[in-house]
Amino acid sequence: MRLENKIAVITGAGSGMGKEEAVRFAKEGAIVVATDIDYEAVKSVEEQIKANGGKALALKHDVSSKEDWEQVFTKTIDAFTNLDILVNNAGISLPKPFMEQTEQDWAKAYQINVNSVMFGMQLAVPYMEKNNGGSIVNISSISALIGMAGAGAYTASKGAVRSISKAAAVDFGKKNIRVNSVHPGYIVTPMSAASMEDPKYKEYFLSQVALPNLGNAEEVANAVLFLASDEASHITGIELPVDGGVTAK
Ligand code: NAP
């Protein structure tokens, strides 16, 4: 198995890509600490993993709270001793025209999409260092790579995720801690389904993708799994689009 006995914390694991990553990682032998602001959702992911013979622990976690992060790692180490993998997946989209965005929108995007990644990495690194290394995968977006209309605070927050991932890759490389970012494109999940499956907009999204279909959560989870695993042992500081060729155009 590709992640045998690795201890992996995955945020936003109650829905969409995070849920798919949790289930996939567990199938590959990882012990998954699945966290989400929605405890009921993540508890059902824990139950699904256990029903399939895997190991998981669900924790309620608001990623914008440093105190919550401290508790997540304390509980992870108490239960499983080590930390090998962190996937900073939880995030929100803020679909609002740039000129209508408020200071509050900007602050919210940063608190949930960026502070989360900073807290998670700051608190994970000492545990990974004790463990002689680890792998961190931060979920950004293609909006950090190309200009996307109307993305405003979201695009800025995902751009920050891209650049702090590279900086952390340089800072922690000698400790054998790898840090990479994944950049999903048009992926149908509960976050995006209302617009991406709406016949009014679907043709537009499809026209942006080079491949025949929009993406799904499993396709992103496959990329995250690779970067999290030892198969990517010489890969750090990269930005991996999972976008069906949107950014190739
Ligand atoms: P999703 O289905 O909405 O899942 C995100 C999960 O994160 C939800 O369970 C959500 O809970 C949770 N969450 C929200 N705020 C949180 C907080 N403060 N603390 C902890 N958990 C929180 O979204 P997704 O599409 O899988 O997105 C996953 C990641 O990919 C996000 O970072 C997103 O920005 C990024 N992304 C998505 C797309 C796309 O096309 N879908 C494209 C590019 C990048 P609630 O449902 O209760 O809010």
Distance of CA 178 to the CA centre of its chain: 15
Q: Which of 46, 145, 191, 224 to mutate to test the pocket of ligand 1 (most atoms within 8 A of CB)?
A: 191
**Which ligand 1 atom is the nearest neighbour of the CA of 113?**
32
Continuous H helices in the chain? 16-27, 39-51, 66-80, 103-110, 116-130, 152-172, 193-196, 199-208, 217-228
What are the pLDDT digits (tens) for 126-181? 999 999 999 999 999 999 999 988 889 999 999 999 999 999 999 999 999 999 99
Q: Note if 154 is an active site residue.
A: yes
Whole-number Å distance, alpha carbon 12 to ligand 1 midpoint, is: 6
Mean pLDDT along residues 95-106: 92
Residues 151, 235: Cα–Cα separation, whole Å? 29
Residues 186-242: tens digit of each pLDDT:
999 999 999 999 999 999 999 999 999 999 999 999 999 999 999 999 999 999 999
pTM above 0.75, yes or no: yes
Q: State pLDDT tens for residues 22-76.
A: 999 999 999 999 999 999 999 999 999 999 999 999 999 999 999 999 999 999 9
**Residue 44, phi-psi category: left (phi > 0), alpha (psi -120 to 50), beta (remainder):** alpha
Task: Quote the Cα angle for 184-227-42, to 5°.
Answer: 65
Using the atom order of ligand 1, give the atom closest to the CA of residue 90: 7
**Using CA atoms, how far apart are residues 120 and 165, in angstroms rounded to an integer?**
12
Lowest mean pLDDT, pick from 2-16, 86-100, 210-224: 86-100
**Ligand 1, atom 32, residue with closest C-alpha:** 91
Distance 73 CA to ligand 1 centre (A): 20
pLDDT at 95: 87
Distances (CA, A) of 155 to 65, 103, 121, 142, 221: 21, 15, 21, 9, 22
Burial class (CB in 10 A: 0-12, 13-18, 19+), 98: exposed
Query: Ligand 1 centre from 19 Cα, in Å?
Result: 10
